[in-house]
Amino acid sequence: MLLDRAAALATKLSDYQKLRGAADEATQFSTRATQFGAAADRVARASDGLAKLRAAGVPVEFAPSEGAALAEKARNLRAAIQEDPAVINDPPFDLKYAFTDRLLGVVAAAEQATTLAWKAYVATRADFGSEDVLAALSKVPQFAVGVAKIRACRAQIASLGETVPPDPAAAKARISALLAEHDAAWSDLSADDIPRNVIGFIRAAAAGDGAPLGALTPEVQDWLIRRELLAAFRIRLR
């Protein structure tokens, strides 16, 4: 009887050790799965972001320096796991330092390249030049409404340029619409009691090429001086 009980206890201990070993192995598999899952999600998001920007016509300068080597490691690891899943706990290379960390480094570089490309695109589209002219015009009551519209358009465009949008094509279309509103607000900038040549000079000065020096007539200069606005304008040599 005692021997039977001892044998039964030994069997239970053996079964317990097997279950404990299986549980430990399952925990290790779960940990690896979580690590790879998080990395895979970031890779997918970065790849999707690059593809969307390029499809929308926004150039992105990015080429993963270790892309081929990491892809080869991934293929070798997948083949080894398919043959023996236990390999995941004793891989042929250091998963963290030789693979995951380097992979995430590539992803971080892709994310940075995407962000820089989008910011550069928006900055190019929204090259409004100096704020001095607009600041000066804001002091003229007759221009208050027009200046408010112009600034609202600029603020919205700046907001769109802060982060990479989920739909770059739609964001580009919105920027184009805001730029049209911005230009229309400049074109509509007028006041009945302000000379037309002053209005024309201000509009031209705010445009990309600026106003020709000949447009700064004595009448325009006098009007700007009397309102302490002349210092807001700069002579630019091409």
Q: What is the pLDDT of residues 61-79, one digit of tens each?
A: 888 777 677 777 777 777 7
| Cα separation, 87 vs 110, whole angstroms | 30
**What percent of the chain has a predicted confidence (pLDDT) above 70?**
77
Average pLDDT over residues 171-186: 92
pLDDT surpasses 90 at 84: no
Query: pLDDT band for position 157 (50/70/90)?
Result: very high
Query: pLDDT band for position 28 (50/70/90)?
Result: low
| Cα separation, 237 vs 40, whole angstroms | 53
* Contact by Cβ (8 Å): 104, 39: yes
DSSP tag of 76: H
- pLDDT tens profile 115-140: 999 999 999 998 876 677 788 778 77
Q: What angle do CA 63, 47, 51 make, to 5 degrees?
A: 85
Out of 49-63, 92-106, 208-222, which region has the weakest mean confidence (pLDDT)? Answer: 92-106
Average pLDDT over residues 213-237: 80
Contacts of 21 (CB under 8 A, 6+ apart): none
pLDDT surpasses 80 at 146: yes
| Cα separation, 112 vs 59, whole angstroms | 14
Which pLDDT score, from 0 to 100, does residue 130 have? 66
**What percent of the chain has a predicted confidence (pLDDT) above 90?**
24
Average pLDDT, the chain: 77
pLDDT surpasses 50 at 9: no
Tokens of 26: 């399952």
Which pLDDT score, from 0 to 100, does residue 96 have? 74
